[in-house]
Amino acid sequence: MNAWRSRARLAAALFRAPKPGQPPKITAILTERCHLRCAFCRLWEAPVSGAASDEWLRLFAANPFLRWVNLSGGELFAKERLRELLTGIVAALPRLELLDFPTAGQRPDEVEAAVDALLATRLPQLAVTVSLDGPPALHDELRGVEGAFERALDCFARLRTRRNSRFVVVAGCTLTERAALQAEPLAAELARRLPGFDPRELHFNLAHHSSHYYRNAAFGELPGQAALDVLARWPRRRGLLGFLEHGYARLAPRALREGHPPIGCEALRRTVFVGPDLEVHPCTIWERPLGNLRDFGLSLTRLLTQPQSREARALVERRACPGCFSPCEALPAMAARPFATALARA
């Protein structure tokens, strides 16, 4: 019941107009270091190690209004003192409702221990995505390391045994132009090897270009119609996540056609992106540095109320940014605008 109340509080926090400079959601890139060599992400070629864990903890303590923390990399489990950092984030944020992160699952023991440590805290909701991008051979090709699929599958299998009302774990598949070779073969492999596997345990997103988040301008396999077909026919889970996944799948063709999310974007209003060196950008896709939090006492409010941040937000509202349909921005926007999402023309 506590988890359901937490989901209601988070939905209400996203629905309400936030105070200036106090977005409820942050995407924080703790490190660019990684165990893999992915085709659709090139951070591994020259990774930034990222701010020290102590500095990240000071950043979260300086912004106690945060309700949803999305952590990413690189790979979180290449970060030093990660378990201490994760539990410290929970302790630093009294209003935190949801912490979520993806992992490539290459260190199953460490992931399992981190999840157990987080579930031992007061954290109301934890969500983990284990990246599985196709059947074994294709996954290893896309991820650039032999045996990556088997380690990720082991990680996912372990975490599935810990699922409860507070903890959601899904297999995350980043769809490329080879989507037809990714989705159904992956689902068949998981059904063969995992007891009780349900296709709704697969969560899809679309590969994007980003010069600061992925540094992957040369990646030439962005998703097309095959990926949209997968989104359209895949079964949906129930609840808020199912509503958001359904909205994402239904509106993705229009978003790709028009170049912008159909119901608007909440970058710099309800969401913000902080890179590994604490440089702030509007989102995962738009490379527009707005300042470094070290110059603002680690305060998001001080930085986001500066003229350069207000100007960037105005450009987002006018659709003068590059545009995307990245789940990091699309899902919070849909959660903030449920009626618009349900009624939007596909």
According to DSSP, the residues that pair with 170 across neighbouring strands are 129
Is pTM beyond 0.85 here?
yes
Q: Closest by alpha carbon to 65, among 16, 128, 2?
A: 16
CATH numbers and ranges of domains, the chain: 2-343 (3.20.20.70)
Average pLDDT over residues 37-44: 93
pLDDT bin (cut points 50, 70, 90) of residue 273 is very high
Q: What is the pLDDT of residues 281-307, one digit of tens each?
A: 999 999 999 999 999 999 999 999 999
Whether 46 has a pLDDT exceeding 70, the answer reads yes
Inter-helix orientation angle 179-193/225-233, to 10° = 40
Q: What is the pLDDT of residues 90-123, one digit of tens each?
A: 999 999 999 999 999 999 999 999 999 999 999 9
Q: What is the pLDDT of residues 189-248, one digit of tens each?
A: 999 999 999 999 999 999 999 999 999 988 999 999 999 999 999 998 888 888 998 999
pLDDT bin (cut points 50, 70, 90) of residue 75 is very high
Q: Residue 78 — left, alpha, or beta (φ > 0 → left; ψ -120 to 50 → alpha)?
A: alpha
Q: What is the secondary structure of 132-178 as a DSSP string?
A: --SSHHHHHHHHTSTTHHHHHHHHHHHHHTT-BTTEEEEEEEEE-TT
Strands 98-103, 68-72: pairing kind: parallel
